[in-house]
């Protein structure tokens, strides 16, 4: 490796971003790892992740539509707090405001871990205002929100060339571009027929309108 000028890329020490010890009244797990759904705008998943920076700290929070794999809400901030989550929720609801829904469809399920941000009264009130039902993973079980864990791992692998980021602004720029320009519109997913999330939703909308 020395002769070829190669060096080892070491794996960063795992740092948990969820403090379940402060979660007083978690919502029940309404999914029970049932992630196989074909109905768009029925199950939303969410999670935070830390973004490695050389200067300062940055955290990303994303909201994914389980059926299409599309990231419908995203925010990057230098702190991991409820306000950042509320911004991501606002963006998700704004995007989905005019999305066609199947008649007599069930309420949206919002699934996350037991982080204090998701368990805050302000966030729960926001979900209630939008008629969204909350669901939470079991204690310390990453498999209960596996698609989001896989999402962050995939993103960090595909952005490895740019990491660690210079600072929170640099992290935000790369993460927003990754999801809004590449992931949602160009990246193919085997779970949805090897097409992009935006293309999947386009076909889904056309099928709904055709059936009505």
Phi-psi region of 64 (alpha: psi -120 to 50; beta: other; left: phi over 0): beta
Q: What is the pLDDT along the chain (212 residues), one digit of tens a residue?
A: 878 777 666 555 545 544 444 545 789 998 888 787 889 999 999 999 999 999 999 999 999 999 999 999 999 999 999 999 999 999 999 999 888 877 667 899 999 999 999 999 999 999 999 999 999 987 766 677 899 999 999 999 999 999 999 999 999 999 999 999 999 999 999 999 999 999 999 999 998 887 76
Question: What residues are paired with 36 via a beta bridge?
Answer: none
- Cα–Cα distance between 64 and 132 in angstroms, integer? 14
* Reported pTM: 0.86
Domain annotation for the chain: domains and CATH numbers:
32-211 (3.30.420.10)
Residue 148's nearest CA partner among 28, 26, 47 is: 47
Task: Report residue 136 as tokens.
Answer: 């939470």
Task: Report residue 50 as tokens.
Answer: 């830390």
- Cα–Cα distance between 61 and 109 in angstroms, integer? 17
Query: Cβ of 101: how many Cβ atoms within 10 Å?
Result: 14
CA angle 31, 28, 110 (to 5 degrees): 55
């Amino acid at each position: 490796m020395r002769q070829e000028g190669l060096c080892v890329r070491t794996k960063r020490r795992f740092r948990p971003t969820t403090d379940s010890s402060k979660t007083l009244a978690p919502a029940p797990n309404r999914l029970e790892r049932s992630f196989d759904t074909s109905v768009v705008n029925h199950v939303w998943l969410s999670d935070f992740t830390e973004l490695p920076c050389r200067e300062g700290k940055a955290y990303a929070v994303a909201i994914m539509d389980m059926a299409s794999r599309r990231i419908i809400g995203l925010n990057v901030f230098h702190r991991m707090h409820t306000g950042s989550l509320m911004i991501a929720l606002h963006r998700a609801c704004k995007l989905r405001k005019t999305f066609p829904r199947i008649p007599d469809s069930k309420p949206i399920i919002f699934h996350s871990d037991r982080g204090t941000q998701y368990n805050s009264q302000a966030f729960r009130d926001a979900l209630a205002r939008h008629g969204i039902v909350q669901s939470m993973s079991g204690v310390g079980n990453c498999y209960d929100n596996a698609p989001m864990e896989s999402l962050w791992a995939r993103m960090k692998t595909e952005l490895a060339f740019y990491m660690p980021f210079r600072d929170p602004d640099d992290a935000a720029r790369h993460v927003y571009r990754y999801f809004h320009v590449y992931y949602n519109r160009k990246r193919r997913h085997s779970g949805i027929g090897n097409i992009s999330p935006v293309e999947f939703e386009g076909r889904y909308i056309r099928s709904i309108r055709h059936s009505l």
